[in-house]
Amino acid sequence: MMRHPMHLHGHFFRTLNGQGEYAPLKTVLDIMPMETDTIEFHASEKYGDWYFHCHILYHMMSGMGRIFSYENTPANP
Ligand SMILES: [Cu+2]
């Protein structure tokens, strides 16, 4: 039951919170306990794998992170 400041590398994202065109543009979203949030971002790079993770180090080190991969990203050996 903790907050999680989630960060997506390489992109700004919008928090879809019902504010329409005034949805905040962020690089970190502080998610409260038991909260569900929806974000969207423009996949503006040619390709790539982008790390999405909690900014609290021990959360990240215990696995609170995921890779967002663009379609058609070449394999990274
Ligand atoms: Cu966290």
The pLDDT tens digits of the residues spanning 38-65 come to: 999 999 999 999 999 999 999 999 999 9
Distances (CA, A) of 72 to 2, 37, 43, 46, 75: 36, 27, 12, 9, 9
State the distance from the centre of ligand 1 to the C-alpha of 16, rounded, in angstroms: 20
Q: Which of 39, 42, 49 is nearest to 70 (CA)?
A: 49
State the distance from the centre of ligand 1 to the C-alpha of 17, rounded, in angstroms: 21
Q: How confident is the model at residue 75 (pLDDT cuts 50, 70, 90)?
A: confident
Alpha-carbon distance of 75 to 49, in angstroms, equals 10
- pLDDT score at 77: 81
Instruction: Provide the token pair at 53.
Output: 């993770």
Alpha-carbon distance of 38 to 26, in angstroms, equals 12
- pLDDT score at 72: 86
- pLDDT score at 26: 95
State the distance from the centre of ligand 1 to the C-alpha of 33, rounded, in angstroms: 10
